[in-house]
């Protein structure tokens, strides 16, 4: 079935109108309304270790297992949880408070951007300009550390996809987490094998950052009840314009193996196919067709193949990671986003790998957009991506070239 053009504005509006939805329930979102708690005890125990002074804690799991969502939720709730912990044991939790800040590696290429991001977030959290803007990186770093020590605050950097961090940033994170600094702790996520490899690298002759890991939590697949809760919460968030009965939910759970990203992908594709067929309900055959439509993307042969004894699932086998190593981090994020989205505009690509982009100022957003567009043009010149068509004046729909798709495909 030809689904081309479904993501255009008019098609999306028609879909929402047809099902009487206020929004598409299966779009990428990090709102608390669709969050399904899991392994909370383990995750907060790990967070406690870092809040007590541990250098780095790891949240691992295959791609699509929900690591990014957990980090975003920690950013929202960790400060409040810390207050409760400190009330119980002030000796163990010696800082007056913690400031959790989410960092997406794909958006951070230089130390200057990392420090500027930290300063901006501190000012936003404090609701006042406690860190003055400056182009002097040493002065900016001193200002941040001085503020944290003066106010007795511990900064917790929540770093998404740390396996893609460049050597310069990795070395700087090692310096920030030195025992004598103490003001900064790190909670990072990524696929376990790639994270272990990255943190095992030596930087400027120092011991690997991996030696400072104080704990690790590996995300498990969702149970059937959790998958059911995930779908129900998303439908409720979109005002329940359509329902998925228990048989359909169980089928989606089996196909996805309990991985949230795959479940959501199957649900969204099912909704699209049902809309094109003008069906008001989601039927079993619709879900099967949706699964078959995206199985080339997921590299699935059946639900039994979703997990192996090594904890690998098809989404992690999706991309030959080694092909991406020579590319700069921002280009890696662009390529991965287009691989998942299949075809997308520059705006959609940016929003896909940077969930906080909507919080940027107009100037910051424009600068990030131009950076992404510049890297897209570089990839286009190397024939890694190609233009599908123009969607409006100056805006184009991009996809990976057949050569790049072949290189990235596995098995």
Residue range 278-291, pLDDT digits in tens: 898 999 999 888 87
Q: How does residue 385 score in pLDDT terms, banded at 50, 70 and 90?
A: very high
Cα Rg, the chain, nearest whole Å? 22
Q: By C-alpha distance, which of 198, 197, 208, 137 is closest to 165? A: 198
pLDDT at 317 over 70: no
Topology of the domain covering 319-408: Arc Repressor Mutant, subunit A (1.10.10)
9-27+222-309 and 319-408 share one CATH topology?
no
CB 99 within 8 A of CB 122: yes
Q: How does residue 301 score in pLDDT terms, banded at 50, 70 and 90?
A: very low
Q: How many residues does the chain have?
A: 411
Question: H-type helices in 19-66, by residue range?
Answer: 40-51
Residue 341 has a pLDDT of: 80
User: DSSP string spanning 317-382?
Assistant: HSS-HHHHTTS-HHHHHHHHHHHHHSSB-HHHHHHHH-TTGGGS-HHHHHHHHHHHHHHHHHHHHT
Task: Dump pLDDT digits (tens) for 124-137.
Answer: 888 888 888 888 88
Residue 85 has a pLDDT of: 94
Least confident of 34-48, 172-186, 270-284, 385-399: 172-186
Mean pLDDT of 336-362: 83
CATH class of 39-218: alpha beta
User: Cβ contacts of residue 166 below 8 Å, gap of 6+?
Assistant: 109, 328, 329
Residue 202 has a pLDDT of: 67
Whose structure tokens read 């939805």? 21
Domain extents for the chain?
9-27+222-309, 39-218, 319-408
Collapsing DSSP to helix, strand or coil, 7 comes out as coil
CB 264 within 8 A of CB 247: no
pLDDT at 294 over 60: yes
Residue 9 has a pLDDT of: 42
Q: How does residue 230 score in pLDDT terms, banded at 50, 70 and 90?
A: very high
Residue 215 has a pLDDT of: 92
- The residues facing 406 across adjacent strands are none
Task: Dump pLDDT digits (tens) for 161-178.
Answer: 888 888 888 888 888 877
pLDDT at 228 over 70: yes
Task: Dump pLDDT digits (tens) for 9-56.
Answer: 456 778 888 888 888 899 878 888 899 988 888 999 999 999 988 789
Residue 11 has a pLDDT of: 67
CB 362 within 8 A of CB 138: no
| Better-predicted residue by pLDDT, 14 or 85 | 85
Topology of the domain covering 9-27+222-309: Helicase, Ruva Protein; domain 3 (1.10.8)
CB 217 within 8 A of CB 46: yes
Biggest alpha carbon distance in the chain? 64
**Which range has the top average pLDDT, 129-133, 239-243, 265-269?**
265-269
């Amino acid at each position: 079935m030809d689904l081309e053009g479904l993501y255009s504005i008019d098609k999306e509006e028609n879909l929402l109108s047809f099902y009487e939805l206020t929004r598409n329930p299966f779009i990428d979102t990090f709102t608390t309304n669709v969050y399904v708690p899991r392994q909370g005890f383990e995750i907060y125990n790990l967070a406690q270790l870092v809040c007590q002074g541990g250098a780095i804690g790891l949240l691992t799991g295959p791609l699509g297992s929900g690591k990014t969502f957990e980090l975003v939720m920690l950013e929202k709730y960790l400060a409040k949880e810390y207050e409760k912990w400190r009330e119980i044991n002030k000796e163990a939790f010696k800082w007056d408070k913690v400031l959790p800040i989410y960092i997406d590696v794909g958006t951070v290429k230089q130390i200057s951007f990392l420090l500027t991001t930290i300063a901006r977030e501190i000012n936003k959290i404090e609701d006042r300009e406690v860190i003055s803007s400056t182009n002097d990186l040493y002065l900016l770093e001193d200002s941040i550390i001085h503020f944290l020590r003066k106010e007795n605050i511990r900064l917790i950097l929540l770093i998404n996809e740390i396996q893609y961090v460049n050597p310069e940033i990795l070395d700087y994170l090692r310096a920030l987490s030195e025992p004598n600094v103490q003001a900064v702790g790190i909670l990072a996520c990524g696929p376990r094998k790639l994270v272990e490899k990255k943190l095992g690298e030596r930087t400027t002759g120092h011991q690997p950052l991996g030696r400072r890991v104080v704990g690790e939590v590996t995300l498990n697949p969702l149970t059937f009840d959790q998958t059911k809760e995930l779908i129900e919460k998303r439908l409720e968030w979109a005002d329940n314009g359509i329902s998925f009965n228990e048989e359909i939910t169980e089928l989606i759970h089996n196909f996805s193996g309990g991985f949230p990203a795959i479940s959501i992908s199957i649900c969204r594709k099912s909704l699209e196919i049902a809309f094109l067929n003008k069906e008001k309900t989601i039927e079993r055959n619709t879900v099967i067709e949706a699964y078959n439509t995206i199985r080339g993307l997921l590299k699935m042969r059946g639900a039994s193949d979703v997990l192996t004894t090594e904890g690998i699932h098809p989404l992690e086998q999706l991309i030959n990671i080694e092909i991406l190593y020579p590319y700069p981090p921002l280009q890696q994020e662009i390529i991965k986003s287009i691989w998942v989205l299949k075809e997308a505009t520059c705006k959609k690509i940016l929003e896909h790998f940077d969930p906080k982009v909507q919080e940027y100022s107009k100037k910051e957003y424009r600068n990030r957009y131009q950076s992404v567009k510049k890297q897209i043009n570089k990839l286009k010149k190397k024939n890694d991506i190609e233009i599908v068509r123009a969607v409006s004046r100056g805006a184009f729909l991009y996809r990976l070239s057949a050569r790049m798709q072949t290189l990235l495909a596995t098995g």
